[in-house]
Amino acid sequence: MKNLILPLAIAALLCGCGRQPTAAEAPTGAAAAAKPAALGSGIELQYVDASVRLQDDFYQHVNGKWLASFQIPPDKVSYDPWDKLVDDARQQARDIIEGSQKHADPADPDQQKIADLYASFMDEDAVEKLGVSPLLNDFAAIEALKDKQAIAALIAHFNRIGASAPFTPNVHQDAKDATRYVFDLGQDGLGLPDRDYYLQNDAKLKQAREQYLQHVQKMLQLAGDTSAASEAQQIMALETALAKVQWTKVANRDPVKTYNKYEFAKLAMLAPGFDWPAYLAASGVTGATDYLVIKQPSYMTGFAAILASTPLPVWKVYFRWHLLSDLAPYLSKAFVEENFAFYGTALSDVPQNRPRWKRAVGLVEKSIGEGLGKIYVARTFPPESKARMDQLVKNLLEAYRLDIDKLDWMGPVTKQKAKEKLAKFTPKIGYPASWRDYSALHTSHDDLMGNVLVAHEFEYNRNLHKLGKPIDRNEWFMTPQTVNAYYNPEMNEIVFPAAVLRPPLFNPAADDAVNYGSIGAVIGHEISHGFDDEGSQYDGNGNLLGTPGWFTQDDYKHFKAKTKVLVAQYAAHEPVPGFHVNGELTLGENIADNSGLAIAYKAYQISLGGKPAPVIDGLSGDQRFYMGFTHIWMQKIRTNEAILEMKTDPHSPEALRGQLPLMNQPAFYDAFGIKPGDKMYLSPEQRVSLW
């Protein structure tokens, strides 16, 4: 299912801040327990594989016993410490939801909505009786299209209800004017994960195409189509045509090339023959703004040509298919199972779907996430954890400030600009300052598909109504119970939800060394996105400046020379035979991993206040710091999922994230006595040091 009108792509990995819980919401029980007097190392020594020399393979040495023994759960594509946090947060969310079903607080109307939404998903018998009938009205509307002019309004409808269409809207802060919101359009509408799956001839990708064709046919047959085989071929041909005119993942990383402002009157020249007035009216944009931002103009032109050359009956089949596919998780068992057989098993090697309650929690998360998050924070996030995180973030920002003056590749002018941007950073820790208003969202305990469509339209309208309004800088784009984090260049903010601030990423019972190596490196990662190849193109207010951003031309050349080496470092790795890491696609995240680790180490030194670090479990502070970093990236992953992520994910594989940044850090060599001849050794001239 596609998310509608999301904020622009943000560099993801961490959490956010706001008010303290009120007395009525204060954490109780274990969450309120006092911090232990004696802090442990926090290092998972039971996972250390002493048979592997740490000087040759630090990742395998630190995590080896876990990697050798752990089995990926049958309903997951991969597993790592982050997934442990996800499992914990999901179980806590389930407890909250099922508690609301029994005793919804009348003073909090969101609780009843949460309970009804969850109940509608869990009533499997009712869903089974309906079969495909919840989609019949939309199927009929598609079939009733008289001409291709009507496709414009249909795309707007699909945008509203969360179904894939050839392009998808997004409301966010205007990158060229940080005081206003903009409505932009970006390429979409493929059933396979990326254009490469249609266009490249690697055996794995060719197999995926064949499986997709079979899957489309099976799904259409389940929906009652009598010409499913030929229709599947038509859909594949149309999607392949769209894939050919789509931009690559690397091209889409360029914030300047993907910012193209068009007044309404000029849209007809961009995509001739497409009924823009009908689309704008049906999307609700008319009257709310007078321009759009088009992320991939050549794609929109290509789409218009494909629209003109493709017969209307083929477009009808295409839209029918995407409606069916995107809403299949909310239909009867046959549709759910076939949908998972392809998107779960064929594409990612996952043998078993998640239990129904987990999928139900996921629906609540997507539909009324902050309503659930308000209760989650009150029960699980103690004030002392937030206070300790606030201090950790403060030290990270101070480490960046101090380090700017020491950089040999930045001149005085660029250094001053970097300090000005850093001074405007907004950290958000734990939860938002104010909670989202769900009063306009109405749910029913016995209408699953109705709830899904209403929730998508609610979110669409919530974002649409931002147009013309002042920027809400308190808004969060992740819920407190989300295990992730992000940097948003348009807001110049780093955001860390409460759920990520738990062991093993943040352990209140552990010494600072492991916390700076784990959550500290993640915080540093997010801060550094403000200074990477994309973030450096935005000023401290969130305005897009373009290349070289606030760098001088000379400093930008120095920066590019360093990042060119980083691209080559990562591209040399081949995690799956025949599939190399895309060093250009992953550049921003690789910069963040390396820079975040370097700055976290310096922040850890600041936290010591000039005193020596204690030796715990026979390990020095520096050793615990680096072991804590590598531990959070230990991962088992299925082969097809690894391929999918290398094609679509701007992050490098986790085994590489937990190993390669260490080899660029001088202090790592000192901490473990890494010397020439060791496999972990890179000569000083081969190392990349940005911070």
The DSSP secondary structure of 319-362, one letter per residue, reads HHHHHHHHHGGGS-HHHHHHHHIIIIIIHH---SPPPHHHHHHH
Model pLDDT, residue 392? 85
- Tokens 């029980």, residue located: 29
**Is residue 559 scored above 70 in pLDDT?**
yes
- Give domain status of residue 359, yes or no: no
Which CATH number fits the domain that encloses residue 560?
Answer: 3.40.390.10
- 3-class secondary-structure state, position 468: coil
CA nearest neighbour of 500 among 405, 314, 632, 372: 632
Regarding whether 395 and 262 lie in a shared domain, the answer is no
- In residues, how long is the chain? 691
Residue 469 CB neighbours (<10 A): 10
Regarding whether 143 and 61 lie in a shared domain, the answer is no
Mean pLDDT over residues 551-565, rounded?
Answer: 94
Model pLDDT, residue 386? 84
User: 339: which residues sit within 8 A by CB, 6+ positions away?
Assistant: 219, 325, 328, 329
- DSSP of 562-631: HHHHHHHHHHT--SBTTB---TTTTHHHHHHHHHHHHHHHHHHHHHHTTSPPPPBTTB-HHHHHHHHHHH
pLDDT confidence of 27, banded at 50, 70, 90? very low
Q: What phi-psi label fits residue 190: left (phi over 0), alpha (psi between -120 and 50 degrees) or beta? A: beta
Regarding whether 281 and 401 lie in a shared domain, the answer is no
Model pLDDT, residue 102? 86
- Asked if 5 contacts 182 with a C-beta cutoff of 8 angstroms, the reply is no
Mean pLDDT over residues 398-419, rounded?
Answer: 93
What ranges make up the beta strands (E) of 434-552? 486-488, 493-497
Regarding whether 427 and 326 lie in a shared domain, the answer is no
Task: Copy the structure tokens of residue 28.
Answer: 């109780």
Strand order in the sheet with 493-497: 11-12, 486-488, 493-497, 426-430
pLDDT confidence of 20, banded at 50, 70, 90? very low
Model pLDDT, residue 37? 53
- Give domain status of residue 25, yes or no: no
Regarding whether 536 and 682 lie in a shared domain, the answer is yes
- Asked if 661 contacts 593 with a C-beta cutoff of 8 angstroms, the reply is yes
- Cα separation, 586 vs 202, in Å, equals 21
Span 66-120, pLDDT tens digits? 999 999 999 999 999 999 999 999 999 999 999 988 887 888 899 999 999 999 9
Q: How far is CA 342 from CA 121, 200, 350, in A?
A: 22, 19, 10
Regarding whether 326 and 405 lie in a shared domain, the answer is no
- Which residue range(s) make up the domain with 280? 135-330
- Give domain status of residue 219, yes or no: yes
Regarding whether 578 and 429 lie in a shared domain, the answer is yes
Regarding whether 417 and 312 lie in a shared domain, the answer is no
Mean pLDDT over residues 635-646, rounded?
Answer: 96
User: 562: which residues sit within 8 A by CB, 6+ positions away?
Assistant: 409, 688, 689, 690
The number of folded domains in the chain is 2
CB-count burial class (<10 Å; 0-12, 13-18, 19+) for 406:
exposed
**Is residue 24 scored above 90 in pLDDT?**
no
Span 584-596, pLDDT tens digits? 999 999 999 999 9
Q: What phi-psi label fits residue 261: left (phi over 0), alpha (psi between -120 and 50 degrees) or beta? A: beta
- Asked if 607 contacts 625 with a C-beta cutoff of 8 angstroms, the reply is no
Task: Copy the structure tokens of residue 480.
Answer: 């407190």
Regarding whether 581 and 507 lie in a shared domain, the answer is yes
Span 148-197, pLDDT tens digits? 999 999 999 999 999 999 999 999 999 999 999 999 999 999 999 999 99
Regarding whether 658 and 579 lie in a shared domain, the answer is yes
Model pLDDT, residue 658? 97
- Tokens 């104010």, residue located: 434
**Is residue 3 scored above 60 in pLDDT?**
no
Mean pLDDT over residues 224-240, rounded?
Answer: 98
- Give domain status of residue 90, yes or no: no
- Give domain status of residue 335, yes or no: no
- Asked if 687 contacts 664 with a C-beta cutoff of 8 angstroms, the reply is yes
- Give domain status of residue 108, yes or no: no
Span 301-328, pLDDT tens digits? 999 999 999 999 999 999 999 999 999 9
Mean pLDDT over residues 117-144, rounded?
Answer: 97
**Is residue 257 scored above 50 in pLDDT?**
yes
**Is residue 479 scored above 60 in pLDDT?**
yes
Mean pLDDT over residues 275-280, rounded?
Answer: 97
Regarding whether 500 and 422 lie in a shared domain, the answer is yes
- Cα separation, 173 vs 684, in Å, equals 42
Model pLDDT, residue 32? 36
Regarding whether 540 and 414 lie in a shared domain, the answer is yes
To the nearest 10 degrees (0 to 180), the angle between helices 109-122 and 81-102 is: 110
- Tokens 């002493």, residue located: 50
- Give domain status of residue 209, yes or no: yes
Long-range own/partner contacts, residues 212-217 (CB < 8 A, 24 or more apart): 212/236, 212/342, 212/346, 215/338, 215/341, 215/342, 215/346, 216/191, 216/321, 216/325
Which CATH number fits the domain that encloses residue 169?
Answer: 1.10.1380.10
- Give domain status of residue 7, yes or no: yes
- Asked if 104 contacts 115 with a C-beta cutoff of 8 angstroms, the reply is yes
